[in-house]
Amino acid sequence: MLQVISEHRSFGGKQGFYTQDSSATGTAMRFTVYQPPQIKQGPVPVLFFLAGLTATEETFAIKAGAQRLASDYGLMLVSCDTSPRNTGTEGATKDWDFGEGAGFYLDATEAPWSQHFRMESWLTQELRELIVANFPADASRIGIFGHSMGGHGALTLALRHPDIYRSVSAFAPISAPTRCPWGEKAFSQYLGVDRGQWKEHDASELMWQRKKPFPKGILIDQGSSDKFLLEGQLQPEAFEAACAAAGQPLTLRRHEGYDHGYYFVASFMADHLAFHHANLRR
């Protein structure tokens, strides 16, 4: 059931904060929805944003500066928390890059994580259906984008569910999690020792398998001064190579001097909303 936390007038539309008791995760899950003024004329396209490590459902709504452009384009914006919270799972709050705040947008298969950490099912099924049922959203025009861990989630969910998502982009995504410390730490605990299962949640590996699922292209922005890029956590070159081999159109833009934070994300948000607006037109 949808519960309203708060709603606020914004650029002629409405920014809302909500919670839902999720059957997928067995917890209360929080999310936000921006409804543009165009809902008065009927259902509008929906764009899901997935945030990065340690972020919450509020991060995008507060920091990205996306509402003004969404109002202009007539896009509904949905953002969500990065994991279930208050699960009582031992070790879930021990590390900043694993557990609560770090769900990696997948369904865990290993105990004890498999009981609550089911972000893929919640996002692609439960939350999507809740949005379509309770807001003036066009279910045939859904896009997805995200930042860092959320960029990983956007790419992998789009590749795993091309029947749901018509458009995808990312800011500084974790592009090859099977080959970086963040991914190895998360996947080994969420998915177990079978690296074959890991590949099913790695955007670069999925692109090798799927072969050109988005003919209108994929947009990625990456800052050159991003410390996580320099540490080898992001590896956009792996996704770039996979797209080239698959014949997948990709625009990967490298921006001199930009780091990993929301000053970077906000700087190029207009380009991403324009990209999705164009791809989600009737």
Backbone angles phi, psi at 101, to 5 degrees: 90, 0
Which of 226, 272, 276, 277 does the annotation list as catalytic? 226
The DSSP output letter for 126 is: I
Q: CA gyration radius for the chain?
A: 17
Our answer to whether residue 277 is catalytic in this structure is no
Contact 84, 25 (CB under 8 A): yes
Which of 201, 260, 272, 277 does the annotation list as catalytic? 260
Would the CA dihedral through 19, 23, 24, 25 be positive or negative?
Answer: positive
Which of 10, 71, 83, 148 does the annotation list as catalytic? 148
Our answer to whether residue 260 is catalytic in this structure is yes
Q: Kind and range of the H or E element at 8? A: strand 2-10
Rounded distance, CA 202 to CA 91, Å? 24
Q: List the beta bridge partners of residue 9.
A: 14
Our answer to whether residue 226 is catalytic in this structure is yes
Rounded distance, CA 203 to CA 211, Å? 12
Catalytic (active-site) positions: 148, 226, 260
